């Protein structure tokens, strides 16, 4: 019993495709010729880099205020100054620095919410898909219940009950956004479960935990990555909405949603205050979505470009 | 709320379409109800503000919006001329001090309430005796608790007995003590009264829609000879629009005619609009940081240490906040009162000039070299609170903002759940220091310091008839408050008014817009 059932399909593939290429090399080649993937990866990569290197790249302390230098317009304005490339906010804090530090918060919330909800959703989905029957019925019921809850409303209610803070936002979003993970992994698991190598593993007497972890999960990973990127973007947008309503991240933390909220009073006459974080949010979410789309295309068996 | 304007347009402009059966528009219109059109053409002055009084009875809220309604709908016994400060007869035609604790007043004849009841001395006695009872649960007890009782002494006269000599009595009788209709109030109770209030003033309330608006019409039978005169504009409407930007948008699109508390930045820009008039004026309102001196919010509160409170006081650049954020006539205050109030003085009161190095040194000395975390609550001018947080952060104090509605803010403060409260107080427009410092430092619910020395000084000042002695006692109290840094006075608040260019309106420092004195320009 030393045959690894999972390697069976790839062994067949090698026979079918004479020029031997590893799956990673194929994916890389596909990725490099996929425009959306490249743009998405570029945006996300850039934002991640700036977030990680924030103390190095930010020109000023994002919290240092100087009320005598407030609402300086960005550099492309006639009144802009080189010292503050994106201008300053209502308390004279450097807008570019706040934007850079704000990306840390957006990414932190996106990643942690996706991780928490991914863990919850995948566990439920895999269990339901693998065992079926009663387990499936219970999980489906829980998913339906969760789908019946309006996310924004529940998040708002929770945040106003407990009080808004970074931790609360991460937890609330993490515990609310797992439904898509559950639905997708459940369907994918059902498909994979019917495959021969799973039957072989069962026949070989592997424990269910091992089958789930080593046979099922690696084979539904592509779908999971796509959902994770979607939910990450979703969480970032929701954080912005909560912060905009004053129930998310609290000042003086530089969250993009909060910056949009703080720019609202200046919408009529100093529109850049609200536009800059708005555009940043748009670009990041677009980037994550493009990246997720690209990953799906690249890893899809039919090899779309 | 732009939707409302849209609906209004559908109603006037496309009546035919509506008749054709636009069910959705019909639904929207049902929500709008009635002609809500503002402006000169409709002789309707619509003014908008952010907060709704929790109760329209003038004694049962301490919100500025409530004071405005009180001044436009009710009359007081005495009127205070906003220009000269002189006391003029209003519902009382004459008054004499029998002795320092007994005041005789003659009540005017021929005044009727909005519901037709004539004003009698019984109404006066009922109002004052009722608000003194604990069951009345009035919000600002300091406004009336100088009175012991009021009795009817004749067909047109009453006598007020004071608990102790109270030199500011006339000042209080000309502000926060409007006269309620005894018979009507007894019949409907406080709940009924708040839903359909009745007074004697220049405007009469015709409908109250909780959370939305209060509609008023001119009192055409207003008693002649009133020092404030009959109202000019026919209809007055108070709209509650919590969001500042919506208020501004409504003003620019003509949905409302008058807004105030426009942030300085926006006021600057609105001046460019030829259909609007922008007015900036200093008010009696003073902001201050109130510290949880007793450590009720947090048993180990760093604020219990006077050095920490002083450090906070040194850390904040109030001058820069006045010059750049508040503007429009604001002034830095160093005593916890409005400098022009009787008894308010900065003479000999310790001041805290901006000195972050000193703040850091004091924190280190107090054992907080690495700073500390604290909560700061505020309920208006979020920018000011955020600027304070920014200054505190610069010396190592990490404050978290708790931005609340006023009633929640006040209740949390009274319950001792707030470490630093960003308070503001307009003194009910009373020109006497007892209405400011007295409310917050004489041992009342909102006194977070409860310093016996301060309480004794304030009580002595409030009850003395000798102006020199009063001033001396108040100075002593204010000096101690500042030396112990129980609170940090910030600055007087400017108010930026923006209103339709059709409207003739003058602002007063007491922060009470007198809509009865406003008129449309010809």
pLDDT of residue A16: 52
For A116-148, the DSSP string reads HHHHHHHHHHHHHHHH-HHHHHHHHHHHHHHHH
Confirm or reject contact between B412 and chain A (CB < 8 A). Answer: no
Confirm or reject contact between A81 and chain B (CB < 8 A). Answer: no
pLDDT above 80 for A17: no
Evaluated on CA atoms B130, B135, B139, B141, the torsion sign reads positive
How far apart, in whole angstroms, are the C-alpha atoms of residue B151 and residue B8? 52
pLDDT, average across residues B242-259:
90
How far apart, in whole angstroms, are the C-alpha atoms of residue A260 and residue A257? 5
Q: How confident is the model at residue A21 (pLDDT cuts 50, 70, 90)?
A: low
How far apart, in whole angstroms, are the C-alpha atoms of residue B282 and residue B509? 6
Contact A252 B394 (CB under 8 A): no
- Single out the residue of A39, A156, A151, A43 nearest to residue A103, CA to CA: A43
pLDDT of residue A304: 46
Look-up of token digits 């194929």? A26
pLDDT of residue B40: 85
How far apart, in whole angstroms, are the C-alpha atoms of residue B177 and residue B170? 10
Contact A264 B386 (CB under 8 A): no
Contact A265 B269 (CB under 8 A): no
Which is more confidently placed, B142 or B128? B128
pLDDT of residue A19: 58
Least confident interval from A48-62, A149-163, A170-184, B115-129: A149-163
Residues 154-193 of chain A whose Cβ lies under 8 A from any Cβ of chain B: 163, 165
- Residue of chain B whose alpha carbon sits nearest to that of A165: B400
State the nearest Cα–Cα gap between A298 and chain B, in angstroms.
46
How far apart, in whole angstroms, are the C-alpha atoms of residue A216 and residue A127? 11
Domain span holding position A178: 31-52+93-299
**Could you tell me the CATH number of the domain that includes residue A113?**
1.10.3720.10
Contact A137, A98 (CB under 8 A): no
pLDDT tens digits, B462-505: 888 888 999 999 999 999 999 999 999 999 998 899 999 999 99
Q: Cβ contacts (< 8 Å) between B393 and chain A: which residues?
A: 63, 252
**Residue A9 domain-assigned?**
no
- Single out the residue of A250, A284, A248, A263 nearest to residue A93, CA to CA: A263
pLDDT of residue B6: 37
- Adjacent-strand bridge partners of B503: B520
Residues of chain A above pLDDT 70, percent: 91
Q: How confident is the model at residue B390 (pLDDT cuts 50, 70, 90)?
A: very high
Residue B20: cis peptide before it, omega within 30 degrees of 0 = no
- Residue of chain B whose alpha carbon sits nearest to that of A266: B266
**Residue A15 domain-assigned?**
no
Confirm or reject contact between A269 and chain B (CB < 8 A). Answer: yes
Count contacts between A and B (CB, < 8 Å).
59
For testing the chain B interface, which of A97, A98, A251, A270 should be mutated: the one with the most B CBs within 10 Å? A251
pLDDT of residue B350: 92
Among the partner residues B245, B386, B403, nearest to A267 by beta-carbon distance: B245
Q: Residue B134: is it exposed, middle or buried by C-beta count within 10 angstroms (0-12/13-18/19+)?
A: exposed
Q: What ipTM does the predicted assembly reach?
A: 0.71
pLDDT of residue A302: 60
pLDDT above 50 for A151: yes
Confirm or reject contact between A68 and chain B (CB < 8 A). Answer: yes
Which is more confidently placed, B474 or A262? B474
**Residue A74 domain-assigned?**
no
Which helix (H) or strand (E) segment holds residue B154: the answer is: strand B147-154
pLDDT above 70 for B27: no
pLDDT of residue A141: 94
Confirm or reject contact between B383 and chain A (CB < 8 A). Answer: yes
pLDDT above 50 for B20: no
Question: Which residues, 6 or more positions from B132, have their beta carbon under 8 angstroms from its beta carbon?
Answer: B144, B145, B147, B148, B149
Contact A118, A231 (CB under 8 A): yes
Contact A68 B394 (CB under 8 A): no
**Residue A78 domain-assigned?**
no
Mean pLDDT score across all residues of chain B: 88
Provide the H-helix boundaries in B464-514: 467-483
pLDDT above 50 for B5: no
Which is more confidently placed, B10 or A132? A132
How far, CA to CA in Å, does B3 sit from each of B10, B33, B248? 11, 13, 15
Least confident interval from A290-299, B21-30, B76-85, B283-292: B21-30
Q: Residue A192: is it exposed, middle or buried by C-beta count within 10 angstroms (0-12/13-18/19+)?
A: buried
Q: Which long-range contacts (CB under 8 A, 24 or more apart) does B8-11 make?
A: B8/B32, B8/B36, B8/B37, B8/B255
Confirm or reject contact between A275 and chain B (CB < 8 A). Answer: no
**Residue A146 domain-assigned?**
yes
**Residue A71 domain-assigned?**
no
Q: How confident is the model at residue A301 (pLDDT cuts 50, 70, 90)?
A: low
Contact B263 A265 (CB under 8 A): yes
Q: Please give the model's pTM, rounded to 2 decimal places.
A: 0.75
Contact B321 A67 (CB under 8 A): yes
pLDDT, average across residues A42-52:
93
Contact B245 A270 (CB under 8 A): no
pLDDT above 50 for A207: yes
Question: Which residues, 6 or more positions from B430, have their beta carbon under 8 angstroms from its beta carbon?
Answer: B168, B171, B172, B175, B176, B341
Contact A67 B269 (CB under 8 A): no
How far apart, in whole angstroms, are the C-alpha atoms of residue B425 and residue B448? 15
3-state secondary structure of B387: helix
Least confident interval from A23-32, A50-59, A225-234: A23-32
Which helix (H) or strand (E) segment holds residue A184: the answer is: helix A179-193
How far apart, in whole angstroms, are the C-alpha atoms of residue B494 and residue B282? 4
pLDDT, average across residues B504-513:
88
Contact B428, B176 (CB under 8 A): yes
pLDDT tens digits, B156-170: 999 999 999 988 899
Confirm or reject contact between B386 and chain A (CB < 8 A). Answer: yes
pLDDT of residue A157: 86
Count of structural domains within chain A:
1
**Residue A149 domain-assigned?**
yes
Contact B390 A93 (CB under 8 A): yes
Residues of chain A above pLDDT 90, percent: 29
pLDDT tens digits, A218-228: 888 888 888 99
How far apart, in whole angstroms, are the C-alpha atoms of residue B284 and residue B341? 9
pLDDT above 60 for B450: yes
pLDDT of residue A299: 76
Q: Cβ contacts (< 8 Å) between B402 and chain A: which residues?
A: 163
Mean pLDDT score across all residues of chain A: 84
- Single out the residue of B222, B326, B234 nearest to residue B280, CA to CA: B326
Which two three-digit tokens encode residue B362? 């004091």
pLDDT tens digits, B363-372: 999 999 999 9
pLDDT of residue A20: 59
Residues of chain B above pLDDT 90, percent: 63
- Residue of chain A whose alpha carbon sits nearest to that of B323: A68
pLDDT of residue B392: 94
Q: Cβ contacts (< 8 Å) between A71 and chain B: which residues?
A: 265
pLDDT of residue A8: 47
Contact B265 A71 (CB under 8 A): yes
**Residue A267 domain-assigned?**
yes
Q: Residue B299: is it exposed, middle or buried by C-beta count within 10 angstroms (0-12/13-18/19+)?
A: exposed
pLDDT above 90 for B321: yes
Which two three-digit tokens encode residue B173? 């009788």
């Amino acid at each position: 019993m030393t045959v690894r059932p999972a390697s069976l399909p790839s062994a067949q593939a090698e026979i079918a495709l004479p020029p031997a290429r590893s799956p990673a090399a194929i994916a890389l080649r596909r990725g490099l010729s996929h425009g959306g993937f490249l743009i998405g990866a570029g945006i996300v990569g850039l934002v991640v880099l700036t977030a990680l290197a924030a103390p190095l790249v930010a020109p000023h302390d994002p919290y240092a205020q100087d009320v005598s230098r407030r609402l300086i317009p960005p550099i492309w304005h006639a009144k802009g100054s080189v010292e503050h490339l994106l201008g300053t906010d209502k308390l004279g804090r450097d807008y570019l620095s706040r934007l850079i530090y704000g990306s840390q918060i957006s990414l932190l919330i996106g990643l942690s919410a996706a991780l928490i909800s991914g863990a919850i959703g995948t566990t439920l989905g895999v269990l339901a898909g693998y065992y079926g029957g009663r387990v499936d019925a219970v999980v489906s019921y829980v998913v339906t219940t969760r789908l019946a809850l309006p996310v924004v409303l529940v998040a708002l209610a929770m945040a106003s009950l407990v009080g808004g803070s970074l931790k609360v936002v991460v937890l609330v979003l993490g515990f609310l956004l797992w439904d898509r993970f559950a639905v997708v992994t459940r369907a994918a698991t059902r498909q994979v479960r019917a495959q021969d190598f799973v039957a072989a593993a069962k026949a070989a007497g592997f424990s269910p935990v091992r089958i789930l972890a080593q046979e099922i999960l690696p084979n539904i990973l592509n779908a999971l990555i796509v959902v994770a990127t979607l939910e990450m973007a979703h969480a970032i947008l929701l954080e912005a909405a909560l912060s905009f309503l004053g129930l998310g991240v609290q000042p003086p933390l530089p969250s993009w949603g909060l910056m949009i909220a703080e720019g609202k009073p200046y919408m009529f006459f100093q529109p850049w205050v609200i536009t800059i974080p708005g555009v940043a949010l748009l670009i990041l979410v677009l980037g994550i979505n493009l990246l997720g789309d690209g990953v799906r295309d690249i890893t899809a068996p039919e090899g779309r470009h | 709320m732009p939707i409302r304007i849209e609906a209004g347009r559908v109603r006037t402009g496309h009546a035919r379409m509506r008749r054709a059966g636009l069910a959705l528009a019909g639904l929207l219109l049902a929500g709008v109800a009635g002609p809500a059109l503002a402006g000169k053409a409709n002789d309707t002055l619509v003014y908008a503000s952010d907060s709704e009084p929790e109760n329209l009875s003038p004694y049962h809220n301490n919100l500025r919006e409530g004071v405005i309604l009180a001044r436009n709908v009710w009359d007081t016994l005495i009127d205070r001329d906003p220009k000269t400060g002189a006391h003029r007869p209003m519902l009382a035609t004459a008054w004499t001090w029998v002795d320092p604790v007994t005041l005789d007043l003659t009540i005017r004849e021929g005044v009727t309430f909005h519901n037709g009841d004539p004003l009698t001395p019984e109404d006066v006695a009922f109002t004052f005796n009722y608000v003194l009872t604990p069951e009345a649960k009035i919000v600002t007890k300091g406004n009336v608790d100088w009175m012991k009782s009021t009795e009817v002494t004749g067909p047109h006269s009453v006598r007020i007995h004071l608990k102790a000599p109270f030199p500011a009595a006339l000042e209080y009788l000309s502000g926060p003590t409007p006269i309620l209709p005894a018979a009507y109030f007894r019949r409907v109770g406080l709940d009924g009264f708040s839903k359909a209030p009745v007074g004697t003033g220049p405007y009469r309330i015709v409908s109250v829609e909780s959370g939305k608006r209060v509609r008023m019409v001119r009192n055409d039978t207003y008693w002649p000879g009133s020092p404030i005169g009959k109202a000019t504009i026919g209809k007055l409407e108070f709209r509650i629009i919590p969001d500042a930007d919506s208020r501004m948008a409504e003003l620019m699109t003509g949905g409302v005619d008058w807004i105030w508390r426009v942030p300085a930045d926006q006021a600057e820009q609105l001046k460019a609009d030829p259909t609007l008039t922008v007015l900036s004026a200093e008010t009696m309102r003073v902001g201050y940081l109130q510290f949880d001196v007793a450590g009720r919010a947090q048993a180990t509160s760093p604020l219990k240490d006077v050095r920490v409170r002083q450090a906070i006081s040194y850390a904040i650049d109030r001058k820069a906040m006045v010059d750049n954020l508040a503007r429009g006539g604001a002034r830095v205050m160093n005593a916890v009162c409005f400098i022009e109030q009787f008894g308010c003085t900065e003479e000999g009161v310790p001041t805290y000039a901006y000195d972050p190095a000193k703040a850091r040194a004091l924190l280190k000395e107090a054992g907080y070299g690495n700073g500390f975390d604290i909560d700061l609550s505020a309920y208006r001018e979020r920018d000011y609170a955020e600027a304070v947080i920014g200054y505190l952060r610069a010396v190592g104090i990490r404050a978290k903002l708790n931005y609340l509605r006023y009633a929640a803010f006040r209740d949390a403060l009274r319950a001792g759940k707030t470490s630093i409260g960003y308070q503001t107080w307009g003194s009910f427009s009373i020109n006497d220091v007892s209405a400011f410092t007295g409310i917050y430092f004489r041992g009342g619910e909102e006194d977070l310091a409860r310093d016996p020395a301060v309480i004794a000084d304030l009580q002595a000042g409030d009850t003395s008839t000798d102006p020199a002695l009063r001033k001396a006692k108040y100075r002593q109290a204010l000096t101690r408050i500042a030396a112990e840094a129980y609170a940090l006075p910030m600055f007087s608040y400017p108010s930026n008014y923006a209103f339709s260019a059709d409207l003739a309106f003058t602002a007063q420092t007491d922060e009470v817009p007198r809509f009865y004195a406003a008129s449309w320009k010809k």
